[in-house]
Chains A and B, each alone.
Chain A
């Protein structure tokens, strides 16, 4: 079955710097790759997603890149702010809606 590896598990960056979180997946049939942000004590919320026919997508300070050949995708957050501190989850989903999440990255934004 599908397996999603996410790295790093913890990331600390200085406010204003960039943060990059990487994920790899195993099932070449995966065609949808969402990223969720979960603040402490809250529910996960979608922040950006990408389909398998697209290589890159940007939304303000957030971007996601996908390399289908290498089966990896990454989340990039630029100009980080204190409110970016949270746990981030990547996920891979196939046409039949089975979805596998990575184990999460705890992002700390240092003042």
Chain B
């Protein structure tokens, strides 16, 4: 089944404890992206990647890191999480970078930073 998966789905952590949220897609998509969703603010792009070893900042990249060593994986790293990073995170992928095509979203990861 073609899909985007994220792990973990739920995470409660404490300020300053490094964490990684994994994202994987099995559709051989070039483009992958991370978003955070907060009430009243909609979806905001954190980082995106147009291909392996190519990453770019989105609208709200501060406090996050990403890497794209393989086509299928695009992990989101929080080196020192803070309470303002408590949010619902979505990973997404699409077939071709720069193209007018549909993004497929993962199921979401709900992160709470205490």
Contacts and interface: CB of A to CB of B under 8 A. Distances in A.
B74 interface: no
Given A32-B100, A51-B100, A99 B105 contact: no
Contacts of A98: 45, 48, 56, 58-59
25 contacts: A6-B42, A31-B100, A34-B103, A43-B90, A43-B105, A44-B43, A44-B90, A44-B105, A45-B105, A49-B100, A51-B100, A95-B98, A96-B56, A96-B98, A97-B33, A97-B50, A97-B98, A98-B45, A98-B48, A99-B33, A99-B45, A99-B58, A100-B45, A101-B43, A103-B42
Interface in B5-47: 31, 33, 35, 40-45
A104 B100 contact: no
Interface string A36-48: 0000000111100
Interface residues of A, number: 23
B90 A104 contact: no
A51 B98 CA distance: 12
B43 A89 contact: yes
A111 interface: no
Interface residues of B, number: 24
A24 B108 CA distance: 27
B60 to A, nearest CB: 11
Contacts of A44: 43, 90, 105
A77 B30 CA distance: 32
Contacts of B106: 43
B21 to A, nearest CB: 15
A104 B42 contact: yes
Interface in B54-74: 56, 58-59
B1 interface: no
B102 interface: yes
